[in-house]
C-alpha cells in the first residue's frame, strides 16, 4: 500500500517486481519437485510450517548436531546423509569442541560408561537437546542408573520414540508392469548370522529344526555373505525362491531391514517374529509369508513346496511390484547406523521451535 500511495509505481518497476516474484516461485517449485522419491517415501509430506523453514534455511545457519560417540566405531562420511537419503539440513559433526554451540547431542547408549563419565558435561546449555540413541530391543538395553531426566529425546526403532527410525521398505511409486522374477536355482535360503544361544535364538532354532525336516534349506553363513559386494549380495538372494527372515528376538517394530533386503532383491520372505499386523506396517502385506499363518512347520513347508510348482500362485507375491519400486538397502554392518544418524539430523532441523523462541 505504502509504495502505491507514496510516489506511485512505474510500469518498469512493476515488471521487475513481478519478474522477481516469479523467479522466487520458480526456485521454490524446482526445489520441491527435485526432492527424490526416496526421500518422499521415507518421510510424509512436510507441514506448511516446514516450508517456511526451508526458505529461511538459505540464510540461516543449519542446526549443529554433535555425534558424541561413533556407534560401534563404524565411521562414515557425514555427506552420506545427502548422497543416500538426501538429508542435508543439519550441520553433523563429531567435533566435541563444538559442544557449547551444538543444538543437539546424539548419545549412543552402548557407549555410555557405568559411571557416566563418558557423557558430555552437564548441565546442558539451555537450548541444547540430548538425544538418547539406541538400536537394541528394550529388554536388551543395559540399565545404567542415573540416566533418568538427562535426555530430552529418544531415537530408536520403536515407532513411539520421539524420533522413530523408519524400517519401512523404501520405494517409489513408479508403475512397473514388467517386473521380471529372476531365475531361481534354490528353493529356500537362510542367511544365518548369529547362532548364539545368548541372543535368544531358541524359538527360531526350534521352528527351523522341525521345518527343515520337510523342505531343503540352503543355509548361507553371513560370515561368507559379508564379503560379497552389493551386487553379488542381492544376486545371491535373488536366486532363492523363498528367503527366511527369522528374527532372533521377537519385539514389535524391531523388524530391521533384514526384511527389506529380500523384498528389494525379488525373493519371497518367510518371516518369524512379531505378528503379521506389525510387519504389514512396514512392508506390503501381500509380499511375505508369515509362519503364524500356518498351524505348524510342516504345513508351512508343504505350502512352499506347492507354491514351487504353481507359477501363478507364486507370482501373486510380486503383484505389489506393479505399483512400487523398491530401493536397495544398505547391507554392510558398518553402515548400520547411517540411517538413524541421518534421521536425527533431519529431525533436529525440522524441530527448531525452542531455539527460535528464545
Ligand X SMILES: *[C@@H]1O[C@H](CO)[C@@H](O)[C@H](O)[C@H]1NC(C)=O
Residue carrying C-alpha cell 526403532: 157
Contact call for residue 113 and ligand X (CB under 6 A): yes
Q: Grid coordinates representing 192?
A: 544365518
Q: Which of 54, 70, 76, 127 binds ligand X (CB under 6 A)?
A: 127
Contact call for residue 27 and ligand X (CB under 6 A): no
The torsion angles phi and psi of 131, rounded to 5 degrees, stand at -110, 120
The sign of the torsion formed by the CA atoms of 43, 49, 54, 59 equals negative
Q: How far is the CB of 104 from ligand X (least distance, A)?
A: 9
Q: What x/- string results for residues 318 through 357 when contact with ligand X is judged by CB under 6 A?
A: ------------------------------------x---
185 DSSP 8-state letter: -
Three-class secondary structure of residue 62 per DSSP: coil
Point out which span in 122-130, 160-168, 285-293, 327-335 binds ligand X (CB under 6 A): 122-130
Number of residues that bind ligand X (CB under 6 A): 26
- Residue 136 annotated in active site: yes
CA distance 206 to 333: 27
Point out which span in 79-87, 110-118, 155-163, 241-249 binds ligand X (CB under 6 A): 110-118
Q: Which of 97, 177, 178, 183 binds ligand X (CB under 6 A)?
A: 97
Subset of residues 34 to 93 that bind ligand X, contact rule: CB under 6 A: 62, 64, 91
Candidates 60, 110, 136, 357; catalytic one:
136
Which residues pair with residue 190 across a beta bridge?
219
Contact call for residue 117 and ligand X (CB under 6 A): yes
335 and 81 Cβ atoms separated by less than 8 Å: no
152 DSSP 8-state letter: S
Element (H, E) at 261: helix 260-265
Which C-beta is closer to ligand X: that of 151 or that of 320?
151
Q: What x/- string results for residues 217 through 246 when contact with ligand X is judged by CB under 6 A?
A: --x---------------------------
Contact call for residue 149 and ligand X (CB under 6 A): yes
CA distance 83 to 62: 18
Three-class secondary structure of residue 285 per DSSP: helix
Catalytically annotated residues:
136
Amino acid at each position: 500500500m505504502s509504495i502505491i500511495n507514496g510516489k506511485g509505481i512505474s510500469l518498469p518497476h512493476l515488471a521487475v517486481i513481478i519478474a522477481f516474484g516469479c523467479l522466487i516461485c520458480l526456485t521454490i517449485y524446482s526445489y520441491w519437485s527435485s526432492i527424490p522419491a526416496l526421500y518422499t517415501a521415507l518421510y510424509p509430506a512436510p507441514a506448511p510450517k516446514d516450508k517456511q523453514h526451508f526458505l529461511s534455511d538459505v540464510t540461516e545457519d543449519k542446526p549443529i548436531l554433535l555425534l558424541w560417540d561413533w556407534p560401534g566405531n563404524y565411521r562414515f562420511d557425514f555427506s552420506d546423509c545427502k548422497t543416500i537419503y538426501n538429508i542435508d539440513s543439519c550441520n553433523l559433526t563429531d567435533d566435541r569442541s563444538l559442544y557449547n554451540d551444538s543444538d543437539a547431542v546424539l548419545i549412543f547408549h552402548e557407549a555410555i560408561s557405568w559411571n557416566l563419565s563418558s557423557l558430555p558435561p552437564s548441565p546442558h546449555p539451555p537450548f541444547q537437546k540430548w538425544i538418547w540413541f539406541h538400536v537394541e530391543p528394550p529388554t536388551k538395553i543395559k540399565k545404567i542408573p542415573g540416566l533418568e531426566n538427562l535426555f530430552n529425546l529418544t531415537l530408536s526403532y520403536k515407532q513411539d520414540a520421539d524420533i522413530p527410525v523408519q524400517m519401512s521398505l523404501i520405494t517409489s511409486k513408479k508403475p512397473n508392469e514388467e517386473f521380471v522374477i529372476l531365475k531361481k536355482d534354490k528353493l529356500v535360503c537362510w542367511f544365518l548370522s548369529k547362532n548364539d544361544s545368548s541372543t535368544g535364538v531358541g524359538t527360531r532354532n526350534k521352528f527351523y529344526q522341525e521345518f527343515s525336516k520337510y523342505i531343503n534349506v540352503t543355509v548361507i553363513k553371513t560370515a561368507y555373505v559379508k564379503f560379497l559386494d552389493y551386487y553379488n549380495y542381492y544376486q545371491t538372494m535373488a536366486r532363492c525362491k523363498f528367503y527366511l527372515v527369522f528374527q532372533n528376538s521377537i519385539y514389535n517394530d524391531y523388524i530391521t531391514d533384514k526384511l527389506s533386503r529380500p523384498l528389494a532383491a525379488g525373493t519371497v520372505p518367510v518371516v518369524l517374529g512379531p505378528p503379521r499386523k506389525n510387519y504389514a506396517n512396514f512392508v506390503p502385506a501381500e509380499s511375505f509369508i508369515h509362519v503364524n499363518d500356518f498351524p505348524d512347520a510342516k504345513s508351512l513347508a508343504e505350502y512352499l513346496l506347492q507354491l514351487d510348482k504353481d507359477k501363478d500362485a507364486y507370482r501373486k507375491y510380486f503383484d505389489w511390484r506393479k505399483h512400487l519400486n523398491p530401493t536397495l538397502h544398505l547391507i554392510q554392518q558398518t553402515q548400520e547406523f547411517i540411517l538413524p544418524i541421518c534421521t536425527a539430523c533431519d529431525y533436529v532441523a525440522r524441530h527448531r521451535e525452542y531455539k527460535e523462541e528464545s
